[in-house]
Structure 1
Amino acid sequence: MRLLTILLLLLPAIAFTQVTRTGEYLAKMDADGDGRVSLAEYQDWMSYAFDGMDRNRDGVLTPDEQPGGKGKPITRGDHLARLAERFQRQDANRDGFLDARELAAPPR
């Protein structure tokens, strides 16, 4: 019973921490500072991994540039299209932007 009481008391603090972290994440992605993330801002921010793996900067991740050294080549266009699909799934209210709540929710 004590443990349950402690957990119930901590729940608001945990939720606040999650919102704060999500707000910070949104602020980093929100290049124009309008409080929401556009598709272009999302793609720019989420492309850090692609850019880091594309060692020869040719816009294509070849198998040797991918984890495990396997897989089909992935073009930057393919990568951006996947991000656009993920963005659309996360945009729950279909307004063309992601807010902090939508960013915190797992993609559907």
Structure 2
Amino acid sequence: MTDVTLTLPRGPVITLLIALLLSAAGSVQAQVADTGTYLQRMDADGDGRVSQAEYVQWMMYAFEQMDADGDGVLDASELPGGKGRPITREQQRQTLVQRFHKQDANRDGVLDARELAAPPR
């Protein structure tokens, strides 16, 4: 098996949340070295594919870590640099759902390792 470099979806909030996720000290989820490992960590039911629910749950980790007051909104004080427009948990979830569907190239409702490793669409 060949290691594949994973290119994650881009966008200001997505990039911010992914950076936080990948830099979270001591987080098991953050310790991902290749696409196979990434798929295994996201694949909660172990079926070798990532469902929309698994994708969203995995990607929301960073939002939850950043939401210091637990109110479901990332406001400027919770964003790096203390700047940025507020985003709600639901807005972030909807963004992730849209990203999931863009990555699902074959439109089968799940992501496999190849789709996870593909450049953002």
| Band of TM-score, shorter chain | 0.7 to 0.9
Describe the SS at the equivalent of 2:37: helix
Deviation at 1:17, TM superposition (A): 2.2
Distance in 2 separating the partners of 1:71 and 1:21: 31
Q: Any idea what SS the aligned residue of 1:47 has?
A: helix
Alignment of 1:12-23 (within 5 A): 16-18=2-4, 21-23=34-36
For normalisation by structure 2, the TM-score amounts to 0.73
Structure 1 match to 2:9 = none
C-alpha distance in 2 between matches for 1:88 and 1:107: 11
Q: What per-residue deviation string (whole Å, max 9, x for no partner) do you get for residues 10-44 of structure 1?
A: xxxxx812288211110100001111001110011
Report the TM-score when normalising by structure 1.
0.81
Distance in 2 between the 1:107 and 1:86 partners? 8
2:52 pairs with one of 39, 57, 73: 39
Q: Structure 2: which 5+ runs fail to align?
A: 6-32
Contact map agreement 2:36 2:113 (CA 8 A) in 1:
yes
Partner residue in 2 for 1:102: 115
Amino acid at match of 2:103: Q
Aligned residues: 94
1:4 counterpart residue number: none
Q: Percent of pairs identical after alignment?
A: 63
Once the two structures are TM-superposed, the CA of residue 101 in structure 1 deviates from its matched residue by 0.2
Q: Which amino acid is 1:24 matched to? A: T
Write the distance in 1 (CA, Å) between the matches of 2:36 and 2:84: 35
The CA RMSD over aligned residues, in Å, is 1.6
2:101 to 79, 82, 88: 88
Q: Equivalent residue for 1:53? A: 66
The offset of 1:90, in angstroms, is 0.4
Q: Which has the larger radius of gyration?
A: 1
